[in-house]
Amino acid sequence: QVQLAESGGGVVQPGRSLRLSCASSGFTFSQYALHWVRQAPGKGLDWVAGISYDGSIKYYADSVRGRFTISRDNSKKSLSLQMNSLRPDDTAKYYCARDESGYRSSRWDYWGQGTLLTVSA
Amino acid sequence: QSALTQPASVSGSPGQSITISCTGTSGDVGGYSDVSWYQQHPGKAPKLIIYDVDSRPSGVSNRFSGSKSGNTASLTISGLRSDDEADYYCNSYRTSDTLVFGGGTKVTVL
pLDDT tens digit sequence for A42-90: 999 999 999 999 999 999 999 999 999 999 999 999 999 999 999 999 9
Which phi and psi (to 5°) does residue B89 adopt?
-130, 135
For residue B1, what pLDDT band results from cuts at 50, 70 and 90? Answer: low
* The predicted structure's pLDDT at residue B97: 85
Q: Which residue has the higher pLDDT, A103 or A36?
A: A36
* The predicted structure's pLDDT at residue B74: 98
| Distance (Å) from the alpha carbon of B103 to chain A's nearest alpha carbon | 6
Interface check for A58 against chain B (CB to CB < 8 A): the answer is: no
Interface test with B, best of A106, A111, A113, A116 (most B CBs within 10 A): A106
Contact B4, B29 (CB under 8 A): yes
Interface check for A80 against chain B (CB to CB < 8 A): the answer is: no
The partner residues of A115 in beta bridges, in order of sequence, read A94
| Distance (Å) from the alpha carbon of A114 to chain B's nearest alpha carbon | 8
What's the distance, Cα to Cα, between the start and end of chain A in Å? 40
For residue B96, what pLDDT band results from cuts at 50, 70 and 90? Answer: confident
